[in-house]
Amino acid sequence: MSSKVSRFFKPSLLATTILFLLAVLFTNLGLWQAKRSAGKAAIEQQFVTAKPLLLETAIAQESRFARIDTGGRYDNKRHILLDNQIWHGRAGVHVFTPFYTHEGTVILVNRGWLPMADRTTLPKIPTPQQPTVLRGILNIYPMPGRMLGPADALVSDQWPQLVTYLSPKDISVALNEPLPNWVIQLSATEQDGFEGRDWQPVFLTSNKHKAYAVQWFGLATISIILWIFNGIRRARESLLNES
């Protein structure tokens, strides 16, 4: 039986080795993207189903994406500007302003995006001085995909300050205030913020990762098809030579 099969299917050792390795690689990449898709889907579901909570309760329960409604006041001078933020193809910063709640909690608020032409000219940051009600979403500190070098050094007497990464510990020292490892993303309906407040739970959606997974699995399938084609073609050439 095997001799009959070999007459019609004779893949080369080189093609078998290369295409097998490619099929394994593409399959593993597809499984990795599928796993990431499932993880992102769980985060997206958490974002959709998050409920309103008191700020202190949300922090204590580590309730990411909890809807926050709390009273207090902004620090109208000590702002942290997160650099390298792109919105609609334009370069700028995200503005993080400390907020002092009536209950005594101090937390950074991401008030949205402002344009910035260069690092030598920081944007003006209009901030209300009177007490206000803050509405937003509790979230973790934004983290870059890759950190190139340490976080920018902060000082306590120079505001606002521009940073490449957010370091909760360094910011807490510069402000001389204990900060939780959480920030509030200001709701798009609030007037004390800026542009770019269409907050999303993830950068790449679960559907995007799912599409990548399909592509990798497709490439694995193509590798197998090429292996089969190579075996059939070589067998046919062998039969022609015999005749």
* Mean pLDDT lowest among 70-79, 148-157, 188-197, 216-225: 148-157
Looking at the structure, do residues 92 and 167 belong to the same domain, yes or no?
yes
For 84, the domain range is 66-186
In this structure, are 84 and 145 located in the same domain? yes
In this prediction, residue 153 carries a pLDDT of 76
**Within a domain: residue 106?**
yes
Q: What confidence score (pLDDT) does residue 1 get?
A: 47
Query: Considering its fold, how many domains does the chain have in total?
Result: 2
User: Per the domain annotation, does 53 fall within a domain?
Assistant: no
Would you state the pLDDT for residue 66?
A: 97
Token digits of residue 102: 């009536």
The letter for the amino acid at 156 is S
Give me the torsion for CA of 7, 13, 14, 17, rounded to 10°.
120
Q: Which amino acid is at 148?
A: L
- Interval 26-65: pLDDT, tens: 999 999 999 999 999 999 999 999 999 999 999 999 999 9
In a domain, 232, yes or no: yes
Q: Do residues 73 and 153 share a domain?
A: yes
Q: What percent of the chain has pLDDT over 70?
A: 93
Confidence of residue 149 (pLDDT cuts 50, 70, 90): low
Max CA pair span of the chain: 95
- Work out whether strand 80-87 and strand 161-163 pair parallel, antiparallel, or are unpaired: parallel
Angle between helices 206-242 and 13-49 (to 10 degrees): 160
Query: What's the pLDDT tens digit per position in 152-204?
Result: 778 888 899 999 989 889 999 999 999 999 999 999 999 999 999 999 998 88
**Three-state SS string across the chain, please?**
CHHHHHHHCCCCHHHHHHHHHHHHHHHHHHHHHHHHHHHHHHHHHHHHHCCEECHHHHHHHCCCCCEEEEEEEECCCCCEEEEEEEECCEEEEEEEEEEEECCCCEEEEEEEEEECCCCCCCCCCCCCCCCEEEEEEEECCCCCCCCCCCCCCCCCCCCCEEECCCCHHHHHHHHCCCCCCCEEEECCCCCCCCECCCCCCCCCCHHHHHHHHHHHHHHHHHHHHHHHHHHHHHHHHHHHHHC
Q: Quote the pLDDT of residue 36.
A: 95
Model-level pTM?
Answer: 0.82
Give the count of beta carbons closer than 10 Å to the beta carbon of residue 216: 19
Whether 35 and 88 share a structural domain? no
Residues 35 and 72 in one domain: no
Residues 178 and 210 in one domain: no
Residue 101 in any domain: the answer is yes
User: Does 56 fall in a domain?
Assistant: no
User: pLDDT grade, residue 6 (50/70/90)?
Assistant: low
Whether residues 101 and 24 fall in one domain? no
Answer yes or no: do 74 and 137 share one domain.
yes
The half-sphere exposure of 219 on its side-chain side, counting CA atoms within 13 A, is 16
Do both 109 and 217 map to the same domain? Answer: no
Q: Are 149 and 211 in the same domain?
A: no
pLDDT band per the 50, 70, 90 thresholds, residue 243:
low
Q: Would 59 be classed as within a structural domain?
A: no
Phi, psi for 214 (deg, rounded to 5): -60, -40
Give yes or no: residues 72 and 12 share one domain: no
In a domain, 192, yes or no: no
Residues 231 and 125 in one domain: no
What does the mean pLDDT of the chain come to?
A: 90
Question: What pLDDT does residue 231 have?
Answer: 87
Q: Residue 50 domain-assigned? A: no
